[in-house]
Structure 1
């Protein structure tokens, strides 16, 4: 059987199996390339729908998805060649056999990948959206922020990570100086607008 796997009709599937084993070894020794983030900030389009159908639109790492695809391709190809050999006495030519196995394997992999995505533990990430910085306080690091003249500020997110943003005062006539903290209240593109944290003085009655 092993010698048969080295014959031309089986070479595409033997090669696929070796790649699958290689990826598995990479994952085992901890050198995996990690999670491929395919999420975008824009509205879903046809490309996103195709990725979701293929099983790549969720939280499944791309290497796991690729390993699953290679497994489906290998099993489908070997089964097809064995079946054709039993029926006609000879396997298919490697080109048509690989094309058919890729088509059928891709369809099978949609179910396999989506099933794996449901049972695999979710990836914990400390990545935050830019909008998550709103309603948090930032400290101006240098300069004085005025309307039309933003200053660089540091904001700490809920994971304790520091983010550096450019901010202007929310009020037209306000200023926020170096070392002062301010509440980020809105955003326009990459620019934040903030209200300075200053004590309100109470006039005696």
Structure 2
């Protein structure tokens, strides 16, 4: 059995279990949490229009993104990836007497593990106490400050911006001025005042006041 686990064709799956254990141990001792000042894109960092952004958000949600803290989602994926890979290789070996090469087995296991991880994240997100998860609703960004990242935001022409949630995680979002004559340039800081579908409406900092939490 050890020879099977450590076979060259299975090294990716063995490494996934080792990494899963390492990340889990770091979580237990408190070293695996992302710091509040870490600039981590929780949303997809994509230069796309609003329609494509909706598709990307839907795909990420299906894969479990946002339901669990990132580190927990990573541990779950590594576990599913490793188990799927070993199980698949065992079936192949029992049928053919050999193992699939790594360049076939690893991508196949990853493709199978992604939707399974998303499915498993749903019940886990209901079990984990809410005060222990860093997942936030996109609406929680209303009332927070954002920085225009790419492009110039005008009415009807949103630009990409980044905002940090209450945990300090960074989100990519689309922003346009709340007024008909507003213009926000790249690097400008704005205040998110409301959301319409996938677009956040914002005002220049200093023209409106909402308490940040």
Of residues 100, 103, 113 in structure 1, which corresponds to 2:111? 103
Which residue pairs with 1:11 in the alignment? 11
RCO greater where, 1 or 2, for CA within 8 Å and sep 6 or more? 2
Deviations 1:131-180 (A, max 9, x none): 38xxxxxxxxxxxxxxxxxxxxxxxxxxxxxxxxxxxxxxxxxxxxxxxx
**What do you get for the CA RMSD once the two structures are aligned?**
3.0
- Between Structure 1 and Structure 2, whose CA radius of gyration is higher? 1
- Could you tell me which runs of 5 or more consecutive residues in structure 1 were left unpaired when the two chains were aligned: 133-186, 195-205
Deviations 1:81-134 (A, max 9, x none): 111111111111111011111111112111112221121111378x975638xx
Q: Scaled by the length of structure 1, what TM-score is found?
A: 0.58
- Could you tell me which runs of 5 or more consecutive residues in structure 2 were left unpaired when the two chains were aligned: 45-49, 145-201
Instruction: Count the aligned residue pairs.
Output: 137
- When residues 61 and 193 of structure 1 are mapped into structure 2, their CA distance, relative to the original with a 3 A threshold, is closer
Which residue pairs with 2:121 in the alignment? 113
Q: Displacement of 1:188 after TM fit?
A: 3.4
Q: Displacement of 1:50 after TM fit?
A: 1.7
Which residue pairs with 2:66 in the alignment? 57
Q: Partners in 2 of 1:87 and 1:99 — Cα distance?
A: 20
- When residues 193 and 113 of structure 1 are mapped into structure 2, their CA distance, relative to the original with a 3 A threshold, is closer
Does 2:204 correspond to 1:189? Answer: yes
Q: What is the SS of the residue equivalent to 2:16?
A: helix
Which residue pairs with 1:38 in the alignment? 42
Within-5 A mapping of 1:168-187? none
Indicate if the aligned counterparts of 2:62 and 2:115 stay in contact, CA closer than 8 A: no
Q: Scaled by the length of structure 2, what TM-score is found?
A: 0.56
Q: What is the SS of the residue equivalent to 2:18?
A: helix
Q: Displacement of 1:64 after TM fit?
A: 0.4
